[in-house]
Structure 1
């Protein structure tokens, strides 16, 4: 039975400030997704042409201070170093959602949290079932659990779908929660040997970072060197270094002090500065040095015959869509929540299918899960690429089918007949808005009458004798 409480709509219209924030965030993520797509294509071309040996040489080239335990390959720097920037931004996004966004309200937070959890549990279950019945390795159960928001939004940009802001916000919030659980999976399940001295140093560094923030200390020259020290200690501790990025992102203040005249919180300002670095440089470079796997007709065919790779493909394509859709439906079924009147369940399934585009974090987890087997790692990467491609094509077909409806909803959201910069849908309960609209309609009616009189006079002249 539904839980007692007040009815509320899920995936309903966002508030105007939240809608503005989501639009800005998605705009940057979309550009980053296009760059990510370009980098992945470049990697595949580079790794499947006669110059593929140069790709391996660059990827395996080592650089860094060995005395500090940081003599790493370029591929390793991209996965452990550059992705820390990506997860730093994800940490800020999560903090903002917790204190100022949808996750602040437990009722609103229930939907993306349950959907994200189901969207991770079902792909893991699908992978496990395939490998238990097929006699494969269970080490890769976490590979199909991640969603790549940048790549998903790049697909939206390419097909030009006019999704309503609520569905876009759902996808963004879902991905933020997904990133949090992905980093927890990495920290808990892919940490083998712990160096407690380095871990203790990283914790001390994080405490200092937090105290400096609380003390109002400013200056990139203070925080950037400290962040690098924390990252290096976290890497040497045995815990994946990207955890340091999430931890520092979560420490930033993401609420404004109105009494001090703040327009944006420190977290929003820093995110605005760092997001282009993450979306435009860090993630594309990671893709460039991780997505380059040998692809041939036989190799692609083998993806569907080996249980590890088949489990990844089915987990991304089937598990993600079914899990997220099912989690959303369960939330609406067993709580007082109900779907927005403007949307139907096929709309939710179409967006859920986008989450099957795993890519960035799935590639990272694939490297960690099968670190001792280079051949299997490459096959799993190929499965991630193929699964993401199938999910992208499927979502494109579903979204195109629903696109006419989306466009009507989007046009209703964007309509601004009184030209005051605020969409009319947000002013419908304001008496001043109705007064302005009445004046506008009266002016339009007067203009139509004037044009009719002019047209009628011209017709009478034309009807006279030649």
Structure 2
């Protein structure tokens, strides 16, 4: 507190949040850790297979087509993974973002402004860096959005591997960053990477989406006190919405976000009045997060990460391509510069300071971790250059190299701080009155 009563005390940013939020974020990250390990394993298998003597079988599998052509759904397995399975991932992004702003700590402007602004900085700076490096090549400039995303599953897998005891404040900051910039990425995909838009299917998609939204919002009236049964009706409507959006020319993952936004996160009483706490969103998240983390994202990584390097000459060609250079520089340097720089500027502009348990080196470590842009970056690369093209292959080399380098740098920085993190963890788990709530979350409570 300031010694001069006329000068207000400096507010703290990147605090640990409420205890309920900490528990919820911890549960999400534990699930994402398993998914991240599967994601990394799938990518390694694909990369090894694509560069093995039997590489033809990998590409034959990836390009095998299946589906119903009259509905424009005869797609390769790789396309099904990108357009279909990733829609589940973005459905959860929509759910999570809505949960944060409706019932989570981010409903408070003072707590949401820093991570949201940091996420915007972490999207804008890498995009500008990539564009500057590729400014003289209109053909490759189209990939400016590739280095804008953060892969939360890959990031928490790195944390699990290095055994980091990251404080809850940094975990919440990292998850919020990843969710917000995933939303920004899907917005970029919808605006800049949609082509030959067909008005008919797009307008038709509004009908099942509206019915889906109406049933979801009034689920207690239609499904009683057992909201788990709601998915039996809502799922077919969601699939129909996805199929129509796909046919319209807008990338189908956009439908996943819209469907996630439509799910209520506040539980309602039978009388219709709201009560605090999660609602149908909790049920859907419980059902779909394991599918997303354990199946959808790893399968997408398997079909997208397999790039044939082509020996030494191919590797030299890749690393000298402005696409590859732009992605590596943007993710490894641009991401931390955008996130750390924006956070620092906000604290100066608002006369705020970091929470007492954190230092700027901690924010820098998390900013480096955010440079792991694996899943969504691979998706945007395919949309930018076309799957299997030379620039797409080089982009994948850049994404893989940048994600690995960002992971190693973050490991060095965060690993060096583990002793301090253990001390913070001990403080955050101390419960002297044994009431089930750690003492630090009760310091500001009044009897």
TM normalised by structure 1 equals 0.88
Unaligned runs of 5+ in 2: 1-6, 224-229
Alignment of 1:360-399 (within 5 A): 360-371=375-386, 374-399=389-414
CA distance in 1, matches of 2:312, 2:365: 29
1:289 is aligned to 303
For structure 1, the 5+ residue unaligned runs are: 433-466
| 1:53 counterpart (52, 56, 75) | 56
For the pair 1:83 / 2:86, whether they are aligned, the reply is: yes
C-alpha change, 1:298 and 1:412, in structure 2 (3 Å) is farther
User: How far apart, CA to CA, are the structure 2 residues paired with 1:194 and 1:263?
Assistant: 39
**CA spacing shift, 1:99–1:299, aligned 2, 3 Å:** same
User: How far off its partner does 1:274 sit?
Assistant: 0.7
Instruction: Report Cα offsets for 1:92-132 as digits up to 9, x if no partner.
Output: 00100111123211121111111011101100111011112
Give the greater-gyration-radius structure (CA).
1
Query: Deviation at 1:231?
Result: 0.6
CA separation of 1:7 and 1:220: change in aligned 2, threshold 3 A: same
Structure 1 residue aligned with 2:250: 239
Shift of 1:183: 0.5
User: In structure 2, what is the equivalent of residue 444 of structure 1?
Assistant: none
SS of equivalent to 1:132: coil
Deviation string, structure 1 residues 225-276 (Cα, Å, up to 9, x no partner): 1111111100000000001010010011112337688864111121111100
Within the alignment, does 1:110 sit opposite 2:88 as a pair?
no
Alignment of 1:260-279 (within 5 A): 264-279=278-293
Go from structure 1 to structure 2 and tell me whether the alpha carbon gap of 1:7 and 1:251 turns closer, same or farther (over 3 Å shift): farther
Aligned length: 429
Distance 1:14 1:185 in 2: 30
Question: What is the TM-score when the length of structure 2 is the normalising length?
Answer: 0.92
**Is the 8 Å Cα contact of residues 92 and 257 (structure 2) preserved in structure 1?**
yes
Give secondary structure in 2 for the equivalent of 1:140.
Answer: helix
Corresponding residue for 1:406? 421
**Contact 1:136/1:308 (<8 A) preserved:** no
Aligned-residue RMSD, C-alpha = 2.0
Check whether the contact 2:266–2:276 (CA below 8 A) recurs between aligned residues.
no
Alignment of 1:303-342 (within 5 A): 303-342=318-357
TM alignment of 1:38-187, pairs within 5 A: 38-132=41-135, 137-187=140-190
Q: Aligned equivalents of 2:240 and 2:8: distance in 1?
A: 48
State the distance in 2 between where 1:47 and 1:304 align.
18
Report the alpha carbon displacement of residue 302 of structure 1 after superposing the two structures with TM: 3.3
Aligned residue in 2 for 1:222: 233
Distance 1:50 1:102, change over 3 A: same
Per-residue CA distance 1:145-182 (angstroms, 9 max, x = gap):
11101101110010000010010000001111111100
1:447 aligned residue: none
SS of 2:357 mapped into structure 1: coil
- The structure-2 alpha-carbon separation of the partners of 1:411 and 1:234, relative to structure 1 and needing over 3 Å to count, comes to same
Change (3 A) 1:299 1:328: farther
Go from structure 1 to structure 2 and tell me whether the alpha carbon gap of 1:20 and 1:53 turns closer, same or farther (over 3 Å shift): same
8 A Cα contact 1:209 1:223, kept in partner:
yes
- Inter-CA distance 302–5: structure 2 relative to 1 (3 Å threshold): farther
